[in-house]
A and B are shown apart, each in its own frame.
Chain A
Amino acid sequence: MNSPSIIEARDLAGGYTEKKVWQQATFSIPRGAFVGVLGPNGAGKTTLFRLLLGLGTPLHGSLTIFGEAPKRGNIRIGYVPQRHPIDSDMRIEALELVRLGLSGTHWGWSMGTHDRAAAMEALRSVGAEELADRPLGVLSGGELQRIFLAEALVGNPELLLLDEPLANLDIRRESNLVQLIHDVVHARGVTVLLIAHNINPLLSVLDQVLYVANGRVASGDPQQILTSQTLSDLYDTPIEVLRDSHGRIAIVGSEESTHHHE
């Protein structure tokens, strides 16, 4: 990864006014990288995303994205928030949600005919063309994730922030979705930050890891970060990283006994 970095954090602290969730984070993300943002629940992974989206303010340090301070409504970013399953009574077609990713911020009346063509193209790019007219409420978890991905991609962003897209998916669908995300962003040259609990489905595609835990953020190559030594230092407690014959990882320790395993 020799490309210029598009995200730069220097001595960054994130959280709320009354409480820092993590601090002293220094890292950079090169253009085109596939980055896994890992760590236990409540460690502050989504807090990092909110800072990048301009929805929160750094408590300390500096953060730049595309060379400038984060701002709300940055059209160069595509965002897939973490969400709960969509209500089965939601009888709105999938194409409409994807279309809104492009023109949902436009004030004034519009039938959105042109936007529907662009939305269909985005659905095609994630292999979900046949889901276009299906109601959102009847789609499976994996199908919905493809729709959300299309919604985030429809505006042709340069950076994708994906908050737990693999949650509630079985192992096969996890790896299918990771491969799809990898293929799509690779073809478009898009940088990806993906929050996940389980690193294993991501291992083959990751360029970099941001490991958020114990009030700190460690950044680097997956092989360099996911070691017993680094994680023990990060958690300040003995952590063991185990690898099986397929290279899959399990992380065990006094605080974190279950969050990376398969």
Chain B
Amino acid sequence: MAESRLWDRKNQLIIMNNMFSLFANLQIVLSYDFMQHAFEAGTLVAIVAGVVGYFIVLRRSSFAAHALSHAGFTGAAGAVLLGWNPLIGLFACTGVSGVIMALLGRRAANRDLQIGVVLSFVLGLGVLFMNLYKGYSTEAYSLLFGEILGIRVTDVWITLAASVFLLIVFSAMYQPLLFSSLDEEAAEAKGLPVVWIGTLFLLLVAIATSVAVQVVGVLLIFSLLVTPAAIAQRLTTRPFYGMLVSVVIALFATWFGLIASFYIPYPVSFFITSVTFGLYVVVRVLTALRV
């Protein structure tokens, strides 16, 4: 009996010690300015990506998000070429592309062809801009794969402003957006402006994509915009809780990626994609076994 109590006590001490060391580690991590900025921006991006991503998956618009991130690459490459902040190029190009996509085709599910046409043209421009840019190739690398650890204070503020704007607009249109995503014809008959709702949604996707590119880059955008939401839809059938789960997963993956990359010299985006993919596989297997 006494032995067992001693064993429990020992385990408690180990757990407490680990928690203290985790807390101490976090303090060390956050004592660096660049890590602080990365955590601030990463947290905002994870919240925005979790919320918008849920609707991207619901509306089957992941190809649109993919295309917008590529448009963002071109915008950012153009801005770098002109000596501007790449974020400005990202917002401008994804925003314009989002509106064009919305105007070209009415239903999100039927937009693949139009999106593909716009995508190939815009990406071609991006390649040209990168070719014309005579600076370091790290700029291109960070656009393609993300470089959150190098984020500047200005970018954190821009990300905050964009995220607050997005969340306010999203809250205002939550129910009509959900209704038109699930039953567009009935929503239209009830008087909702479904075309405008679809256009506004693509603009929100453009904003979410632009801020997320900073963390995971153009090529890995799905890891924050699609995978957490896809996992969430496996775990709950209620949209509100689904969005919450999606945000929690995106936050966990981002924070884990930041801490891991602080100690292990691999890219943050690698850790984020690994965590979200791993969770996705586990959830798929578990739900398949349950069925």
A interface list, Cβ under 8 A from B: 53, 55, 72-75, 77, 79-81, 83, 87, 91-93, 96-97, 100-101, 103-112, 133-136, 151-152
Question: What chain A residues lie within 8 Å of B233 (beta carbons)?
Answer: 91-92
Give the residue name and chain of the B residue nearest to A50 (CB).
Answer: B189
Question: What chain A residues lie within 8 Å of B174 (beta carbons)?
Answer: 108-110
| B172 sits at the interface (CB 8 A) | yes
Report how far A215 CA is from B172 CA in the complex, Å. 44
- Are B186 and A105 in contact, with the CB atoms below 8 A? no
Question: What chain B residues lie within 8 Å of A100 (beta carbons)?
Answer: 175, 178-179, 182-183, 187
Q: How many contacts between A and B, using CB within 8 angstroms? A: 90
Known: A92-B237, A92-B239, A96-B239. A105 touches B183 (CB 8 A): no
- Are A105 and B240 in contact, with the CB atoms below 8 A? no
Known: A55-B189, A72-B191, A151-B186. A135 touches B175 (CB 8 A): no
Report how far A87 CA is from B174 CA in the complex, Å. 22
- Are B171 and A104 in contact, with the CB atoms below 8 A? no
- Are A55 and B187 in contact, with the CB atoms below 8 A? no
Could you list 4 further interchain pairs (A-B, Cβ under 8 angstroms) beyond the known A92-B58, A109-B171? Answer: A83-B185, A101-B186, A104-B190, A111-B240
| B267 sits at the interface (CB 8 A) | no
Question: What chain B residues lie within 8 Å of A109 (beta carbons)?
Answer: 171-172, 174-175
Question: What chain A residues lie within 8 Å of B186 (beta carbons)?
Answer: 79-81, 101, 151-152
| B188 sits at the interface (CB 8 A) | yes
Chain B residues within 8 Å of chain A by Cβ, number: 27
- Are A108 and B189 in contact, with the CB atoms below 8 A? no
| B152 sits at the interface (CB 8 A) | no
Which chain B residues in 176-205 approach chain A with CB under 8 Å? 176, 178-180, 182-183, 185-192
Known: A96-B239, A100-B175, A108-B171. A81 touches B185 (CB 8 A): yes
Give the residue name and chain of the B residue nearest to A97 (CB).
Answer: B182
- Are B190 and A92 in contact, with the CB atoms below 8 A? no
| B161 sits at the interface (CB 8 A) | no
B interface list, Cβ under 8 A from A: 58, 60, 171-176, 178-180, 182-183, 185-192, 233-234, 237-240
Question: What chain A residues lie within 8 Å of B183 (beta carbons)?
Answer: 81, 97, 100, 104, 151
Known: A92-B237, A105-B179, A107-B172. A81 touches B191 (CB 8 A): no
Report how far A38 CA is from B256 CA in the complex, Å. 61
9 closest pairs, A vs B, by CB? A73-B191, A104-B179, A81-B185, A93-B237, A100-B179, A109-B171, A79-B189, A91-B233, A72-B191
Report how far A111 CA is from B174 CA in the complex, Å. 10
Question: What chain B residues lie within 8 Å of A151 (beta carbons)?
Answer: 183, 186
23 A-B pairs with CB atoms under 8 Å apart are A79-B185, A79-B190, A91-B233, A92-B182, A92-B233, A93-B237, A96-B182, A100-B175, A100-B182, A100-B187, A104-B180, A104-B190, A104-B192, A105-B176, A105-B179, A105-B190, A107-B175, A108-B171, A108-B172, A109-B175, A110-B174, A110-B175, A111-B240
Point out the residue from B191, B192, B237 that lies within 8 Å of A133, measured CB to CB. B237
Question: What chain A residues lie within 8 Å of B180 (beta carbons)?
Answer: 104
Report how far A221 CA is from B180 CA in the complex, Å. 37
- Are B191 and A108 in contact, with the CB atoms below 8 A? no
Question: What chain B residues lie within 8 Å of A152 (beta carbons)?
Answer: 186
Question: What chain A residues lie within 8 Å of B182 (beta carbons)?
Answer: 92, 96-97, 100, 136
- Are B178 and A91 in contact, with the CB atoms below 8 A? no
Question: What chain B residues lie within 8 Å of A91 (beta carbons)?
Answer: 233-234, 237
Report how far A235 CA is from B184 CA in the complex, Å. 35
- Are A135 and B237 in contact, with the CB atoms below 8 A? yes
Give the residue name and chain of the B residue nearest to A77 (CB).
Answer: B189
Question: What chain A residues lie within 8 Å of B239 (beta carbons)?
Answer: 92, 96
Point out the residue from A53, A108, A133 that lies within 8 Å of B175, measured CB to CB. A108
Which of B173, B178, B180, B192 has the most A CB atoms < 10 Å from its CB?
Answer: B178
Report how far A110 CA is from B239 CA in the complex, Å. 12
Question: What chain A residues lie within 8 Å of B176 (beta carbons)?
Answer: 104-107
Give the residue name and chain of the B residue nearest to A135 (CB).
Answer: B237
Which of B60, B183, B234 has the most A CB atoms < 10 Å from its CB?
Answer: B183
Shortest Cβ distance from residue A205 to the other chain B in the assembled complex, whole angstroms? 24
Shortest Cβ distance from residue A252 to the other chain B in the assembled complex, whole angstroms? 33
Report how far A77 CA is from B237 CA in the complex, Å. 28
Shortest Cβ distance from residue B234 to the other chain A in the assembled complex, whole angstroms? 7
- Are B175 and A103 in contact, with the CB atoms below 8 A? yes
Give the residue name and chain of the A residue nearest to B240 (CB).
Answer: A111
